[in-house]
Amino acid sequence: MKRDYILILGGLVPFLFSIFVINYFFKDDRKQLFESAKLLQKSTISNLTIGDFVKFSGVISKDNPKLKDEYVLAVKEVFKKGQNGKRSEWIKEELFLQTIKVNIPEIDDIEVSVANDYLPCGDFVKISDSIPKKSRVLGIPDSVSVSAVGKITSISPIKIETAHSLCTGTIENYEDYLNKKLLGYILVLICISIPSLGVMYLGFFRGRKTETT
């Protein structure tokens, strides 16, 4: 049976890319962690142990030193123009990161650390020193609400490692952010996998049609 291998290959490449997206989706476990993590509050502290995952929402303390302008956490990025078919993108050039103190209602300040390659996220991240298509600074100032999911590394005082999950906004904002990420993955899979499967099927179908005529 003859087949249209160009069509089959044209459908196979994006389908393989969709498998990569699925793999990335399963590695992004923030949604699952958020749903299973305990809510950090006064009534739950006595039941916590080192290694537990908790979710929390609080306000960045004014006691945190400012590392870049008004920001307690910041990243300077430079714009890299795409060449040879590669897309343009913002590249991290300089990081201004530290363990920060966060005020949580009815709880003393907790200490929150982020990953070494953390990138500020959330609707209340500020952008300054912006030069279009050249450079910019993304930052989070003090007195801003933040939420995250993280692992307890110390009970007294409470220390939490949040990796990349720390975002500006309330716990509801954070949950909405995770839901949008999940929806984004699903839409990408639908938009890629269904057309690519259709193209591959057409490659087989055209081959059968050619053989019968």
Work out how many domains the chain is built from and give that number: 1
Note the pTM of the prediction, 2 decimals: 0.70
AA letter at 43: S
Domain that holds residue 49: 5-212
Question: Which residue stretches of 28-166 are H helix?
Answer: 30-36
Among 37-46, 75-84, 162-171, 198-207, the range scoring the smallest mean pLDDT is 198-207
pLDDT at 185: 57
Q: Give residue-wise pLDDT tens across range 13-70.
A: 555 555 555 554 545 567 778 888 999 988 888 889 999 999 999 999 999 999 999 9
pLDDT band at 1 (very low <50, low <70, confident <90, very high): very low
| Higher pLDDT among residues 178 and 144, named by residue | 144
Residue 167 is part of a domain; what is its CATH number?
Answer: 2.40.50.140
pLDDT digits (tens, 9 = 90+) for 110-139: 999 999 999 999 889 999 988 888 999 999
Residue 88: CA count within 13 A, CB half-sphere: 9
Share of the chain above pLDDT 70, in %: 70
Residue with tokens 């990953």: 115
pLDDT at residue 151, as a whole number: 95
Q: Which long-range contacts (CB under 8 A, 24 or more apart) does 174-183 make?
A: 174/34, 174/55, 174/57, 174/122, 174/147, 174/148, 175/34, 177/121, 177/122, 178/30, 178/31, 178/34, 179/31, 181/28, 181/30, 181/31, 182/31
Q: Average pLDDT, whole number, for the chain? A: 81
